[in-house]
Amino acid sequence: MNILLLGSGGREHALAWKLAQSPRCDNLFAAPGNPGIAQAADLVTLEAGDHAAVVAFCDANRIGLVVIGPEAPLVDGLADSLRAAGIAVFGPSRAAAQLEGSKAFTKALCDRAGIPTAAYEHVRTEAEALAALTRFGIPVVIKADGLAAGKGVTVAETRAEAEAAIRDIFSGRFGGAEAVIEECMVGEEVSFFALTDGATVMPFGSAQDHKRVGEGDTGPNTGGMGAYSPARVLTSALEGEVTTRIIAPTVRQLAADGTPYSGVLFAGLMLTAEGPRLIEYNARFGDPECQVLMTRLDSDLVDLLAACAESRLAACAPPRFSPEVALTVVMAAAGYPGEPRKGGAIAGIAAAEAAGARVFQAGTALDGGKLVGAGGRVLNVTARAAGVRAAQAAAYAAIERIDAPDLFCRRDIGWREAAREDAPTP
Ligand code: AMP
Ligand code: GLY
């Protein structure tokens, strides 16, 4: 089968690496890709926003499966255009991708399906928002409606901070001037993944990421500075509860609404004293969570993604994951999550991989044949080992071999799980 992968980040490098290992994969194409993805796929020039061009490429190259990595083309309806042309695609329709594209859509769906989540109000004007605020305690969570690349959420510790966030949203900085005001939930966060073809739900592993730029989870939010899998705090009992109380009702409700969801559901969960509750959904794999999931996945990825795309997931064996821990450390460019410094030289990837890690590339480019930084998050140094301490040691040992003066990383990725591993078992 010929496969087209869309995207250019570390998530897509991990997907490309895994797709290319499948005996079912004949030719793997990627657009726009990056120098790391080019090791596993043929890079092609294709604009994901030009649906007709993507369809024409698929027809000309007998593409049997399109895998859409990032959320923007999903929210933009690329999967709909491909399905309309009879091309199998892994990723939800525009209507179903609203689970990620609109916080208000997801909250309303949770209401209809009885899914445990934070109490909320959906507001459309600044005055409505300020009035609603008085009905919530502090801290309170303020979210811009619509895609905001992880930057539209404020967990406000004071009323003044909440009011400032509301003013910011209604100043139009996030495009649509709508917001969701939410009760602040307390607990530990985990990410849970499930594949679905709209009818069957297949749990696909757990992870925890580190969203803040600084050690000890301090400083501004980022797309994620590192992750590990599995998240053992999500026990198999809790995973069962999440599947039956959150994921399955979501899939059933979307099907009943006439907008079945096909692809991966990425649930951000809060493990509260009252049980797991949904924070948010994403309509794609997490980045860098995907890198650790792919590092643990022993099953054939093409089988699973094609089964979702072709609505035959029920006939597919559940995924096999290594019981080992995978951990990835993001190396980001100086300045990130603000304006990253670009163009800095990167060397030592082969040495890092010889030391036992795998280096997925995100914001990289070739400049006169030399690898340089070209984005905020640049490399994902990933290791697999029996425990989180061992995986941490392997990833950081590999980082020592990388010579990239413009890049920095957090030195404490996996700290929650490492502390649990160090604690004497009761
Ligand atoms: P989101 O973009 O919805 O994932 O939100 C970003 C982050 O804000 C989450 O990872 C949580 O840490 C935090 N957050 C969002 N909603 C809530 C909530 N209702 N209660 C507590 N924390 C939240
Ligand atoms: N790492 C979080 C995300 O992909 O949204």
| pLDDT, tens only, 195-230 | 999 999 999 999 999 999 999 999 988 999 999 999
| pLDDT, tens only, 306-344 | 999 999 999 999 999 999 999 999 999 999 999 999 999
Q: Whose C-alpha lies nearest to ligand 1, atom 5?
A: 153
Residues with CB under 6 A from ligand 1: 118, 141, 150, 153, 155, 182, 184-185, 189, 211, 268, 279-280
Phi and psi (nearest 5°) for 190?
Answer: -140, 155
Place 174 in a pLDDT band, splitting at 50, 70 and 90.
low
What separation in Å is there between the alpha carbon of 287 and the centre of ligand 2? 5
What's the rounded Cα separation, in Å, for the pair 117 and 133?
18
What's the rounded Cα separation, in Å, for the pair 99 and 266?
10
Number of the ligand 2 atom closest to the C-alpha atom of 286: 4
Residue with tokens 């590990």: 228
What separation in Å is there between the alpha carbon of 153 and the centre of ligand 1? 7
Residues with CB under 6 A from ligand 2: 209, 223-224, 282, 286-287, 289
What's the rounded Cα separation, in Å, for the pair 112 and 181?
18
| H or E segment to which residue 35 belongs | none
Return the biggest CA–CA distance within the chain.
Answer: 61
Q: Which of 60, 50, 45, 47 is nearest to 2 (CA)?
A: 60
User: Which ligand has the minimum distance to the alpha carbon of residue 9?
Assistant: 2
Contact by Cβ (8 Å): 8, 37: yes
Residue with tokens 């649906």: 51
| pLDDT, tens only, 27-67 | 999 999 999 999 999 999 999 999 999 999 999 999 999 99
What separation in Å is there between the alpha carbon of 279 and the centre of ligand 1? 6
